[in-house]
Amino acid sequence: MNTFKKLSLVGLAVASVGAGAQYAHAADQTGNASAVIQNPIVITEDTAMDFATIIADAAGDTVTLTAAGSISSTGSSTFSGTPAAGAFSVTGTPSAAVTLSFSTGDTLTGPGTAMNLGTFTHDAGGSPAFDVGGALAFDVGANLTVNATQTAGSYSGTYTVTVDYQ
């Protein structure tokens, strides 16, 4: 009699466990994700370089415009008007060090012989870098080679400034 009772209890217990089972059997897994972030360098010219008016030495001359905007020459040319250094503002990765470089072989063209533009200088210092806000501003000067008996008139041209992460 005792054994019968035990067996029936076991039987009931197993059956009730069976009837109650509605297992979800869910599975979960970790997914991985990644990205590489790069800040672009964006350069804007705020002021075009301008040698203003050069009353040229007839023998030709090398005119220097400094990054501070002052003008002088090795010969006897004189100057009038308002010369201006080129001015640029740049954005990029905050606090990142950069290198500045310039194109070569540029000229100003106009009514007469093309005048070589080169020997660029800047005032960003020896270790230019973006500030903590990711900004950098600098001015650019250059040398202009005036030819002998340079025809009077307006001359213009372009040059390229490159800012790169170090």
Partner 1 sequence: MTIRSIIILVLFSGFLFFIPKALLAKPVGSLREITEMSFGTITVDSSGDTITLSPSGGITTQGTSIVSGTYAAAEFTVSGDKNTAFSISFSSGDSLTGPGTSMSLGSFTHSAGTSPVFDNKGKALFTVGASLTINSPQIDGSYSGTYTIFVDYT
Chain residues that interact with partner 1, rule: CB under 8 A: 3-4, 7-8, 11-12, 14-15, 18-19, 21-40, 42, 91, 93-94, 96, 133-134
Provide the token pair at 71.
């003008």
Q: Which is nearer to partner 1, 25 or 105 (CB)?
A: 25
Give dist(CA 142, CA 117) in Å, integer: 7
Residue 83 Cβ, how far from partner 1 at the closest point, in Å?
Answer: 33
Please check whether residue 84 is in contact with residue 139, taking contact to mean a CB–CB distance below 8 angstroms: no
Please check whether residue 117 is in contact with residue 107, taking contact to mean a CB–CB distance below 8 angstroms: yes
Residue 33 Cβ, how far from partner 1 at the closest point, in Å?
Answer: 4
Q: Which is nearer to partner 1, 36 or 80 (CB)?
A: 36
Q: Which is nearer to partner 1, 4 or 153 (CB)?
A: 4
Residue 128 Cβ, how far from partner 1 at the closest point, in Å?
Answer: 17
Q: Which is nearer to partner 1, 15 or 148 (CB)?
A: 15
Provide the token pair at 5.
């009772």
What's the N-to-C CA distance of the chain in angstroms? 92
Residue 68 Cβ, how far from partner 1 at the closest point, in Å?
Answer: 29
In terms of Cβ atoms closer than 10 Å to its own Cβ (0-12, 13-18, 19+), residue 64 is middle
